[in-house]
Structure 1
Amino acid sequence: MEMHNTPWAPDWALWLWFGLTLLSVLYVAWDLFTRTPEMKVMKWGWVLVTLYTGPVGLLIYWFSCREPSPGTHEAFIAPLWKQAVGSTIHCAAGDATGIIVAAALTGYFGLSMGVDIWIEYAAGFVFGLFIFQALFMKDMMGLSYGEALRQSFLPEWISMNAMMAGMLPTMVILMTRDMRAMEATSPWFWAAMSAATLVGVVVSYPVNYWLVKNQLKHGMGTERALGKGGAAIEEVSASAHAGHSMGGMSHTASAATAHAGHAMATMPMNMEGGAQVSGLRKAVVTLITLVMLAVGYWLAARYGDLSMRPGVPMEAMPGMDMPGHRM
């Protein structure tokens, strides 16, 4: 990978993106905290992910979570693809936050990217598992903190592998092209992290879809009910549809969804998947995500430079004085 000292986007595009991101975050926060009955942890998850993904995050929120009219949230989020979006957003809120915080700190200490990426991986996993999964979800799942950790460990690890498989090469390649992106004080750092999070969300979505489908992770929920792989909430959707058919009035459907939602909220949730998923299938999917992570590392090493570190001039790096390298 040839290393450049020029940005990978014009300045005006960068600041336009930041401006749109600010507006997107303000809207999502306003909508979540005033009208959409999403779970509290997911409200903050959506705000964080929109902060990282800008208007793309707003579009995802609009079509997968935003309540279209009062009393319809359970039915609106019932489809499995939306349930999987909720799981992915929850994953990104925890994992990407840990990765970004670690990247800012490792950049301050001047560590090489080859070391950075594994510290960031560990930080993302720890933040996602111990805080966003076990700590924030234990009460909703009806579990102790220790049991929530145990049940969340494998799904979080699988999801983290996929998230990092997308974020790792994106960060390294963009930072190789413009080393200003290695410094947390530079707007290019935040632009690189935004792009990396977007790629991580896309790469990890199919894995989260599988996890939610097999009830190894929770899906999109509401303040009244935790999304349970799509299945239970789809029953709520059916109740709402029946209410429309029998009564022909929207308030009937709203009452049905609210009643079913409250009933679901009182039931502890088990995310182990029970007998639905064999140990062999879990092992195969785990191996697939490790292969994905290995491919991400290969892409970073092949098209980026894992030896680079912030504050070191390019010409001082190994090989930079060799013919064929262009600044």
Structure 2
Amino acid sequence: MAPQWLTVVAWAALATGLVCALAVIIDIRGLGYRQRMPIMGWVWPVNAVYLGPLALWAYYRFGRPRSGRWRAEHGDPPDTPDWATTGIGVMHCGAGCTLGDIIAESAIFMLGVAIAGRAIWAEYVGDYALALLLGIAFQYFAIAPMRGLSLGKGLWQAAKADVLSLTAFEVGLFGWMALMAFVFFPAPGLHPDSAAYWFLMQVGMMLGFVTAYPVNAWLIRKGIKEAM
């Protein structure tokens, strides 16, 4: 069982993330600040789920100016600094990882799946597989339209751009999950039916952002991954 203070903090953090995600969705879908790259309309709110106010700030600073409506109102947006371009690239990868992790974690818990008697090993397999599938899909819908690629070539380029980035993201997250399972909350541990679990997963995703950042900087610099 999580201590009461952690549960309170968890609910506050989760609510903040959801409110920030909703604010981005309203701005893009409701107010018409639709992204010129449609997939980014999903990337920004998904990242807000775990990055909260930081993602909201980044959206208003770097995402909103890329919309057609903002350009019509203000003209060309200012240049995006390299550090922000890399951060947006990590968010693009992080969106697939986040959705994959949420879906896989929930499914594994509800189905009671375990490997070698521990749920965490099943979570590692399920999280990585689904995150990879969604991550490549996110990359495909960014790279293929920009480069005018066919389905096959687009998927290949998406895989090249995403596998290393996604793996680096999961290194940070999986390391944190190991601490959750074996150090902070050993058996019976925390499970996806508690707010504390998902709050700690938010923290793990932030760590994944950190571990994926240098890899994305290299991928963008080498032209393997498109600057978002």
- Short-chain TM bin: 0.7 to 0.9
| Amino acid corresponding to residue 40 of structure 1 in structure 2 | P
Matches within 5 A, 1:96-107: 96-107=98-109
Please identify the structure whose Cα radius of gyration is greater.
Answer: 1
Choose which of 104, 121, 125 in structure 2 pairs with 1:118.
Answer: 125
| Amino acid corresponding to residue 224 of structure 2 in structure 1 | L
SS at the partner of 1:59?
helix
SS at the partner of 1:40?
coil
Shift of 1:181: 6.8
Partner of 1:291: none
Partner of 1:41: 39
Is it true that 1:172 corresponds to 2:178 in the alignment?
yes
Per residue, is there more helix in 1 or in 2? 2
- TM (norm. structure 1) is 0.59
Choose which of 84, 87, 92 in structure 2 pairs with 1:85.
Answer: 87
Distance 1:93 1:181, change over 3 A: farther
**Gap runs ≥5 in structure 1:** 221-327
Shift of 1:9: 5.0
Partner of 1:31: 27
Distance 1:97 1:50 in 2: 12
Deviations, residues 209-233 of structure 1 (Å, cap 9, x unaligned): 121122211122xxxxxxxxxxxxx
Q: Which has the higher contact order (CA 8 A, sep 6+)?
A: 1
Shift of 1:11: 2.5
Deviations, residues 7-60 of structure 1 (Å, cap 9, x unaligned): 495332222212322321122222233354522210111111112322232233
Distance 1:210 1:51 in 2: 26
Structure 1 stretches of at least 4 aligned residues deviating more than 3 Å after TM superposition? 5-9, 72-75, 178-182
Partner of 2:12: 16
Distance 1:117 1:77, change over 3 A: farther
**Gap runs ≥5 in structure 2:** none
SS at the partner of 1:10?
helix
The answer to whether the Cα contact below 8 Å between 1:138 and 1:144 also exists between their aligned partners in 2 is yes
Moved more, 60-69 or 39-48: 60-69
Distance 1:219 1:181, change over 3 A: farther
- TM (norm. structure 2) is 0.81
The CA RMSD measured in Å over matched residues stands at: 2.6
Matches within 5 A, 1:34-73: 34=31, 36-38=33-35, 39-67=37-65, 70-71=70-71
Distance 1:157 1:123 in 2: 12
Distance 1:181 1:55 in 2: 29
Distance 2:121 2:4 in 1: 22
